[in-house]
Structure 1
Amino acid sequence: MISPSQVEAMIQAALPDAQVNVQSQDGEHFDVTVVSSQFANKGLVQQHQLVYRAVQQAMSSEAIHALALKTYTPESWQTTSQS
């Protein structure tokens, strides 16, 4: 089993400027919100691919069963968090 803090560390290693919030009730299903300037000028699929690459090893070993992602640039996060 993998902890939310371990998932967070994997994502931050790949996206050093990222603000990451990871929630899990069971250690297998994770709700992840990532805010990173590296998402600028990338589509949603490309943003998610960056995060999936960061946790690829944990997913391939089935330590992570499901990952629900929300990704934002700092600008889009600011707009979202104000509404």
Structure 2
Amino acid sequence: MTAEQLQQLIAAGLSCEHIEVTGDGRHWAAVIVSPEFEGKRPIARHQRVYATLGERIKTDEVHALSLKTFTPAEWAAQN
């Protein structure tokens, strides 16, 4: 799997205003900005991303995924 493929999988299942994915093919890091994160705690946000990946997150196809999740307002405040 490539970073672009992983990014497309996440974007297909989650409304994203911004998404960056980096990694080495097994260990990944993603920055995701989505209005769907409004009112959700970090664990619920992560679970929402994991749900978009389905079985891939449970297998070695996506071995490790580090997430930074933001609402659009949180993202705007950081940038």
Gaps of 5+ in 2: none
- Equivalent residue number for residue 22 of structure 1: 21
TM-score by length of 1: 0.87
Q: How does 1:3-82 map to 2 (within 5 A)?
A: 3-24=2-23, 26-81=24-79
Deviations 1:6-48 (A, max 9, x none): 1111111111334210001x20000100000010011111111
Distance 1:18 1:10, change over 3 A: farther
Taking a change above 3 Å as real, the CA distance of residues 17 and 68 of structure 1, as seen in their structure-2 partners, is closer
Between the two proteins, the alignment pairs up a number of residues equal to: 79
Percent identity between matched residues is 32
SS of residue matched to 1:21: strand
- The alignment's C-alpha RMSD in Å is 1.1
Bigger mean CA offset, 11-20 vs 59-68: 11-20
> Moved runs in structure 1, 4+ residues, more than 4 A?
none
List runs of 5+ in structure 1 lacking aligned partners: none
TM score, norm. by length of structure 2: 0.91
